[in-house]
Amino acid sequence: MAYAPSIARVARHSWHELRRGALVHITAHGEYIGPGTVDGASRDGSVLWIQFGGIEGRRMFHSSDDVVIAVGSRPSR
């Protein structure tokens, strides 16, 4: 998957800097999951909670997961 120029990947050690309500795009295991909003992050940045729309609901990601968190406009496919 290619990312549009306006996409900025967020380094795992910077997850704690994401503000609640920020729009992000999630890719896990190489597959684009979709957009969501930041619901919370641990102080050390190791855990990030994302609220998805629809039936997906709220989901937790750990810094050791195979996941890319990107902020900005939607990734191009």
Average pLDDT of the residues in 64-74: 83
Q: What was the pLDDT predicted at 3?
A: 47
Sheet holding 23-28, edge to edge: 8-9, 67-71, 23-28, 31-41, 47-51, 58-62
Distance of CA 77 to the CA centre of its chain: 17
Counting every residue written for the chain, the total comes to 77
| Ordered domains of the chain (ranges, CATH) | 8-71 (2.30.30)
Does 7 score more than 70 pLDDT? no
pLDDT digits (tens, 9 = 90+) for 35-63: 999 999 998 889 999 999 877 789 999 98
What is the per-residue pLDDT for 45?
A: 85
The reported pLDDT for the residue numbered 38 is 94
pLDDT of residue 11: 67
In three-state secondary structure terms, 77 is coil
